[in-house]
Structure 1
Amino acid sequence: MREKLKRSFFILTSMSIFILVLLFIGEEYDEPKKIEEKTHYLPKVSYISSSEDAQASSIFSYGVLKPKWDITLKSQVNGAITYINPLFESGSLVTSNTVLMHIEDKPYKSQKSKAEVAFAEAKLGLIQAKKKTENTNRYWELSGINSPPSDLALFKPQLDIAEKALEAARQDILVADSNLSYTHVKAPFKGTIIERKVGLGQQVVEGEPLLRLIDHQNFYLPVFLSEMQWKNLSNQWLNSKAKLYLNEGEVIADATIISGGYHLDSETRQYPLFMEVNSAQNDGLISGQFIKVRIAGKIFDNYLSLPESALTQDGAIWFIDHQDTLRFYEPKDIHYQDKHVLVPAPDKTDYLGQKIWRVATVPLSFFLAGQRVEPIEVLMEK
């Protein structure tokens, strides 16, 4: 009997141990499933909220700053160069009215003296002609003749000639003064001497080039637009303002669009626009600088303003619908405004009249249309 009890106890103990082992093994196999269930999650996608509205676009282009005046200064008199200003060198910056050189002036001083003598003689001749006319008129009145005297009798033709001779002599003095002033060659504006063409002692003649001078105060900027940019240009582009940038930096000046656009450039086959730079903002500007230009474009209704990063390489965007699933959208039209892109809002009929669009800020390679995600809103930079 005792052996039977021992055997039963042994069997029960063995079965209990076996059951415990099975339970332990079962828990070991269930644990990975629980871990797997815990680690299963939705991918997080950052988005910005954008509502469709009227959006003002911008057009960007580049150009090289050019001087408004680029001249070759020529001699207006004949003679030898007797003086050269030390500043008269290529690359020198000179101010307006700076005397750059002297040309021999003795012949022109003589010309002025002769003109002054001729003027004095003409003035005397006019006085004599007036006196003669007055005396003749007085004698005619004293003679008692009732009929009026003729112009010839009063020497009026001679008086008219004397008046014109005096005016001609006055103009000769002005010409002599001008010629004498031309012997002092001056800079007509503040500018940079690009090339000196003459030297001290050189004999020059009227019309001979002396130097090349470019403007240092007034600039203009030619830029070229593609056909699409031209079509997207604001209708009020003429006399409108444009912003100028050095590379990607801050605005350095304003410019006014003064002309252009009505023909294609023969070299670039694009539409040229010509801008005049605001002279009050030209500090630091020099001819030849490469300038970035922003021009006001048209205003587009029912467009979204998005960061440039939201655009894929193919020009598409991803947005999250009301069910937190990804949607792929290829806009037919894209415009730019500062660091943002402007795209037409998707058709509301396809998305249950959606008004606020949750657009992925950075499209990622794992995005699939219809994929559920966990949206995380971020603020769009202004």
Structure 2
Amino acid sequence: MKKKYFKATAPILVLALGYGVVQLMSAAKPAPEKKAENPRPISLVYNEAREEAVRLTVATQGEVRPHTEIDLTPQVSGRIIAISENFAEGAGFTPGETLVQLDDADYRLALARAEAGVAAAEVVLLQARATAAIKRQQWETANPGREPTPLQVNQPQVAEAEAQLRSAKAELADAQLNLARTQIKLPFRGRVIRRDIGVGQYVTAGTVLGRVFATDRVEVRLPLTDAQLQELDLPMGFVATERNPGPPVTLSAQVGRDAHQWQGRIVRTQAAVDQQTRLIYAVAEVADPYGAGASNGVPLAVGLFVSAEAQGVRERPALVLPREALRSADKVYVVDESNRLNIRTVEVLSTSKDRVVIASGLTDGERVVTSAIANAVDGMEVQPIAQLARK
């Protein structure tokens, strides 16, 4: 029995003994030496903040609106017998051009009657004056040295005939005016927004024939803050004059694939603060937007939404940096003397696509990071690399 038991347990004892030897050898083997490696600093490109005397750019935006926009209405009644080809949606017209022609037959008849009335009144006046002259001669013959009464020499009758002639001439002028009003015209150059009538339609005085606007100039209503108003040196209630025509403003918009710019001036500001937005609105004007004021043939069309930029009138010292130096709305990354990153909050005066102007939060000559950085941590060690000067 003992021999059988030994034969059964012998392999197990051998395996256990071998495992113990391996464990002892592993424990006696020295541990591998660990090398401590410091994390490599991140390389960042920087620009030095530089102080300059700058004029701030006031940026805002608004919608182009016509300076004059009216409903076209007739002053007399009649049937429409002709409509100009230029009285169509989007078409342009010239000052004094006949846009709509009304049937003028009745008005020509009225004019003829008025002319006849003037002729008859002139005859009556001539007769009254002749009778008055005869009666005065008879009075002076019969009553030498005595002054007659007005009635004795027909002066009231002459005055009545003169009044009738003036009335007839007024009726003639009214008839001429009504005849002229059958040709519906406008005193300015403009464009048609819509047309509401057709040939053969009978219209009365005051009927809306369509809507038009003048193209001699357009306006853009621009919202400004108090600070922007001060930068432009514009008081509330400002109105442009010959001595002070207002600050120039550049309007820009994307039309199709191209960017276009138009030049104008701020000609007035509101005299009150808008109660809803708490802003002050200025009005910029562009002269001849469909002609000489167009941008490479592209007009400053009514209804276009544009961006506006105007230069401030005062220079002030400020720090200027590339636009990519600004993080979020008011943060920059500064590399200190120990090459550690400081996340700094700054006061931004203005920004553009190329630069950012900072009022405070930095000092002249500080190194400001302009390259991209992910997961920036305040105080982290960095490797600064100076930005190469742009050609």
Deviation of 1:245 after TM superposition, in Å, equals 0.8
Deviation of 1:309 after TM superposition, in Å, equals 1.8
Secondary structure (helix, strand or coil) at the match of 2:302 reads coil
In the alignment, which residue of structure 1 is the partner of 2:233?
234
Deviation of 1:134 after TM superposition, in Å, equals 5.1
User: Is the 1:100–1:186 Cα contact (8 Å) retained in structure 2?
Assistant: yes
Q: Find the aligned partners of 2:146 and 2:210 in 1 and give their Cα distance.
A: 69
In the alignment, which residue of structure 2 is the partner of 1:29?
none
Is 1:50 the counterpart of 2:50? The answer is yes
Q: Find the aligned partners of 1:144 and 1:93 in 2 and give their Cα distance.
A: 75
Deviation of 1:63 after TM superposition, in Å, equals 1.9
User: Is the 2:49–2:319 Cα contact (8 Å) retained in structure 1?
Assistant: no
Q: Find the aligned partners of 2:140 and 2:337 in 1 and give their Cα distance.
A: 114
Q: Find the aligned partners of 2:163 and 2:196 in 1 and give their Cα distance.
A: 42
Deviation of 1:51 after TM superposition, in Å, equals 1.4
Amino acid at match of 2:272: Y
TM-score, normalisation: structure 2 = 0.70
- Describe the superposition over 1:169-213 as per-residue Cα deviations: whole angstroms up to 9, x where unpaired: 333222211211222233554433333322222222222222222
User: Is the 1:79–1:103 Cα contact (8 Å) retained in structure 2?
Assistant: yes
Taking the TM superposition and a 5 Å limit, the aligned residue runs for 1:136-147 are: 145-146=144-145
Secondary structure (helix, strand or coil) at the match of 1:304 reads strand
User: Is the 2:348–2:356 Cα contact (8 Å) retained in structure 1?
Assistant: no
Secondary structure (helix, strand or coil) at the match of 1:169 reads helix
In the alignment, which residue of structure 2 is the partner of 1:274?
283
Q: Find the aligned partners of 2:152 and 2:270 in 1 and give their Cα distance.
A: 65
Deviation of 1:60 after TM superposition, in Å, equals 1.8
Secondary structure (helix, strand or coil) at the match of 1:122 reads helix
Deviation of 1:291 after TM superposition, in Å, equals 1.1
Q: Find the aligned partners of 1:148 and 1:276 in 2 and give their Cα distance.
A: 70
Q: Find the aligned partners of 2:156 and 2:337 in 1 and give their Cα distance.
A: 102
Secondary structure (helix, strand or coil) at the match of 2:234 reads coil
In the alignment, which residue of structure 1 is the partner of 2:357?
342
Deviation of 1:69 after TM superposition, in Å, equals 2.8
CA 1:370/1:114 → structure 2, altered by over 3 Å: closer, same or farther? same
1:306 to 321, 329, 353: 321
Consecutive unaligned residues of structure 1, counting only runs of 5 or more, are 1-31, 348-353
1:253 to 248, 263, 266: 263
User: Is the 1:99–1:185 Cα contact (8 Å) retained in structure 2?
Assistant: yes
User: Is the 2:229–2:235 Cα contact (8 Å) retained in structure 1?
Assistant: no
Q: Find the aligned partners of 1:194 and 1:215 in 2 and give their Cα distance.
A: 11
Amino acid at match of 1:315: D
Q: Mean alpha-carbon deviation: is it higher for 318-327 or for 68-77? A: 318-327
Amino acid at match of 1:293: A
CA 1:123/1:48 → structure 2, altered by over 3 Å: closer, same or farther? farther
- Describe the superposition over 1:313-341 as per-residue Cα deviations: whole angstroms up to 9, x where unpaired: 14123456678776554224533467433
TM-score, normalisation: structure 1 = 0.71
Consecutive unaligned residues of structure 2, counting only runs of 5 or more, are 1-34, 241-245
Question: Aligned residue pairs: how many?
Answer: 340
Deviation of 1:225 after TM superposition, in Å, equals 3.7
Deviation of 1:144 after TM superposition, in Å, equals 6.3
Secondary structure (helix, strand or coil) at the match of 2:164 reads helix
In the alignment, which residue of structure 2 is the partner of 1:105?
104
Amino acid at match of 2:71: T
Is 1:244 the counterpart of 2:251? The answer is yes
Q: Identity rate of aligned residues, in percent?
A: 22
CA 1:332/1:270 → structure 2, altered by over 3 Å: closer, same or farther? same
In the alignment, which residue of structure 1 is the partner of 2:177?
178
